[in-house]
Amino acid sequence: MKVLAAMSGGVDSAVAAARAVDAGHDVVGVHLALSRMPGTLRTGSRGCCTIEDSMDAQRAANIIGIPYYVWDFSERFKLDVVDDFIAEYSAGRTPNPCMRCNERIKFAALLEKAVALGFDAVATGHYASLITDEHGNRELHRAAAWAKDQSYVLGVLNSEQLAHSMFPLGATPSKAEVRAEAAARGFSVANKPDSHDICFIPDGDTRGWLADKVGAEQGAILDRTGDQIGTHEGAHAFTVGQRKGLNVGFPTSDGKPRFVLEVRPKTNEVVVGPKEALDIAEIAGRKFSWAGLDPVASEITEADVAGMRSFDCEVQIRAHADPVPATARLSPVNPADYPDGAGAISASRSQETNADYELVITPNQPLNGVAPGQTAVVYVGTRVLGQCTIDRTVSAVAVS
């Protein structure tokens, strides 16, 4: 096959490209320039897409012996990832930029261009596995080593994208083995630190970055009954579950700390309460997609007049969170749950919001600290069945 290897400049993508060559594929390496003003050097494990990363990718491509190019996707990245991130926080939601980047950049813009140029697949260094069933349908599964499993951030991929994807590291038992292989191949990135945090905020100061982008205006901090107990310098700086940075004027009656329960951007208010109020009994979202065949076509459940019958699954709400046993179903949207119509849905998202149905997920035990805007990925065994962007949550604790 003719394969385009996405090379970030890290060890995983370099080894993935080399393995694609070893498998007999005709491979071309490409590095995505995602910033209009890339830094010359990384700051430890912070940041990515720097000039240094591009050079590291080129050195690996030279050793492998494959052609190498740099493609400028900076404008697309700004519109679909950075601007989306700002819009979501401004709407009181907590976005996951890595999900957006995979959805809109690596497996939409890049894959579309690759297919248009005659490539059969795009190979990346993600730790995830692809399985083809007896009918030729692709399924996305967890990697062999769950400690490094990255299937969560790939949950946004659809059937067509999976058909043109390749993950050469999926069966690798450990990251240590990948680093050892990189060293044996002579790659200079063998011991390069993994990047983390938000790549376009390399100093890690998300609050300061957002204040610079959207401004800061003083607002009220409320308790669950609506009484004002403090002030803040901008609702965008807070996210559900946050404890630090709350300017609360007096202690609670029980002396326990408060946590952010809700962010209200329209009124610039932040609602706080006890830790137990973070427990969530149900989550739901209208922007959902299936990674391959849907649950009905996969014979996991059956369709009914209400949408889709409930089925057993596991739900994961963060990249490094443990999966939680749950049930899921498709249900008709209740307009009362969406008083603003479409809700705070960013227009830049690639997958349309379903106006009639929502994916409703009920964990067997309450989830803790879930915020609208996060992504819930649904698993059946090791298989990634699909995902939704969380629009609403239902608290397990009544207001008192």
- The question of whether 98 is a catalytic residue gets the answer no
Torsion of CA 327, 332, 337, 340, to 10 degrees: 130
Q: What are the residues facing 68 on neighbouring strands?
A: 29
CA distance 400 to 398: 6
Mapped onto helix, strand or coil, the DSSP state of residue 201 is coil
What is the C-alpha separation between 364 and 366, in angstroms, rounded? 7
Give kind and range of the element (H or E) at residue 263: strand 259-264
Give 46's DSSP letter: B
Q: Is position 199 annotated as part of the catalytic site?
A: yes
Alpha helices per DSSP H over 307-355? none
Assign 206 to helix, strand or coil.
helix
Q: Which residues pair with 123 in a beta bridge?
A: 5, 166
From the number of C-beta atoms within 10 Å of its C-beta (0-12, 13-18, 19+), residue 239 rates as: buried
The radius of gyration computed from the CA coordinates of the chain, to the nearest angstrom, equals 22
- The rounded distance, in Å, linking the Cα atoms of 314 and 117 is 38
The one catalytic residue among 48, 49, 98, 101: 101
Residue of 49, 199, 313, 388 with catalytic role:
199
Residue 323, φ and ψ in degrees, nearest 5: -70, 145
Phi and psi, residue 245, nearest 5°: 85, 10
Residue with tokens 């930029």: 97
In DSSP terms, 230 is beta-bridged to: 221, 248
Q: Say how far apart CA 4 and CA 123 lie, in whole Å.
A: 6
Residue with tokens 């990515």: 48
Identify which of 196, 211, 155 has the alpha carbon closest to the alpha carbon of residue 375: 155
Task: Kindly list the distances between the CA atom of residue 304 and the CA atoms of 124, 297, 309, 329, in Å, as whole numbers in the listed order.
Answer: 38, 13, 6, 10
Q: How far apart are CA 183 and CA 60, in angstroms?
A: 11
Active site residues: 101, 199
